[in-house]
Structure 1
Amino acid sequence: MCNPIFSSIMLAIESRRVIELRMVRLAWGGREGLAEAQSMVTEKVHAAGEAMITLMLGGSPETVIARYREHVAFNTKRLSAF
């Protein structure tokens, strides 16, 4: 099992790139910016719900952090494709 502090630090570092890419997309505006804003809110609500369910079913915080890192990796790849 990974160290939860290390995983949390890595999540923060990896999230920085997604924030940067999203801010650029939002600054461009237009349809892409609006779609990204809507996607961002929807993704955050779903991720929070998923984390809540995981913890309610006995999952560990490390599991939640690992899943968030998967979401961040997916978004980094998706946003970097443009």
Structure 2
Amino acid sequence: MAKNAWMRNGLNSWFLGMEAMQVITLRTMKLAAGGADARTEAQRMVSEKIAAGVDLQMRAMTGGLGLTADGATAKVLAHYRRKVRANRRRLGNTGG
């Protein structure tokens, strides 16, 4: 499987979906609790999504995603998995 780029991209897509589901659950719990922390999280969530999208657009426009479809897909997945993983770690901390 390691030599098949599309299989690897498919697996990374699945991992991204699982990690995103965990972040959604953690965020929902935080937002449901209400208060200042929930407001801060909601604002952070929106600004992070905008920043991640803009960063990815800049990479695409400057050739930073590579020249092949499978390579670009891998870079996009890696980009979003890094963001989602950081949020999962942050939200998973009891103080986060």
Shared fold per TM-score greater than 0.5: yes
Higher relative contact order (CA 8 A, sep 6+): 1
Greater fraction helix: 1
The percent of aligned pairs where both chains have the same amino acid is 35
Aligned pairs, how many? 82
Partner residue of 1:14? 19
What is the RMSD computed on CA atoms of the aligned residues? 1.3
Whether contact under 8 Å (1:55, 1:61) holds in the other structure is no
| Corresponding letter in the other structure for 2:15 | M
Hey, what's the Cα distance between the residues in 2 that align with 1:56 and 1:8? 23
Task: Please point out which of 19, 41, 50 is paired with 2:46.
Answer: 41
Structure 1 position 34, deviation (Å): 0.2
Partner residue of 2:33? 28
Partner residue of 2:82? 70
Could you list the runs of 4 or more consecutive aligned residues of structure 1 that deviate by over 4 angstroms after TM superposition?
none
Structure possessing the higher radius of gyration over alpha carbons: 2
TM-score, structure 2 as length reference: 0.79
Structure 1 position 9, deviation (Å): 1.2
In structure 2, runs of 5+ residues without a counterpart are 66-71
| Corresponding letter in the other structure for 1:68 | Y
